[in-house]
Amino acid sequence: MSDVALFDAHPTAAVRAESPLSLCRVTVATEASAQNAGVVLRERAFLGHLILRGNAADEAFCAGVEAALGVPLPLKVGPVSRDDARGLSVQWVSPDEWLIVVPQGEDFATEQRLRQALQGHYAVMQVSGAQTLLELSGPAAREVLMKSAGYDFHPRSFPVGKGISTTFAKSTAVIRRVGEAQWELIIRRSFADYLYRWLLDASEEYGVFVAR
């Protein structure tokens, strides 16, 4: 492990944490429950987000990542490596870049494991505070995505398990399909308020329930 300064972003003292959407107060005509809503929207705040950079053609690098994370490194756009029991996912972003998402509080330990397992030229960056994850589910979730982005969300082109980065509502988002009617959107903190309002507006005609 090279000599680098490691910083644990989780303080030992109790402090009030605020998600990117903590100040967003929007009133919409929501359904009374998730059962009768066409769209269910929920923020999964405070997850750990890491960016990994490295050489995908380096077998030692790929083996080290798999040893540290317990899942294979995806080597092309589309398939997302997941361990749902541990709440961990790894997604290809570009030929030398991957997004790792882990449960709250596990990002620092995950970064340490990667640095202990990897050698040579690589980078691990902590970006947990820079983005958040929204869950979009329900029978009309795909219709909302079709309103918001030009990507083809038909099941033939976007099966369960796929993830992509694309333009979304004049901004950008990482979109992953995790179930037949379940999607994840990873969005930047600076656009979180705008995109959340967009999703509520786009979902309102179907009946939207905001889960807490």
Nearest to 50 by CA among 2, 113, 117: 113
Q: What is the model's pLDDT at position 34? A: 80
As a whole number of angstroms, the distance between CA 189 and CA 130 comes to 5
In the chain, where the domains are located: 39-210
Averaged pLDDT for residues 112-120? 96
As a whole number of angstroms, the distance between CA 202 and CA 146 comes to 10
Q: What is the overall mean pLDDT for the chain?
A: 91
Is residue 73's pLDDT more than 80?
yes
Is residue 117's pLDDT more than 70?
yes
As a whole number of angstroms, the distance between CA 184 and CA 133 comes to 7
Q: What is the model's pLDDT at position 212? A: 79
The more confidently predicted of residues 1 and 201 is: 201
Q: What is the model's pLDDT at position 1? A: 47
* C-alpha 140: how far from chain center: 21
Q: What proportions of the chain, in percent to the nearest 5, are helix, strand and coil?
A: 25, 35, 45
Is residue 107's pLDDT more than 80?
yes
Task: Summarize pLDDT for 162-198 with one digit per residue, the tens.
Answer: 999 999 999 999 999 999 999 999 999 999 999 999 9
Task: Summarize pLDDT for 144-155 with one digit per residue, the tens.
Answer: 999 999 999 999
Q: Fold for 39-210, please state it.
A: Gyrase A; domain 2 (3.30.1360)
pTM, to two decimals: 0.90
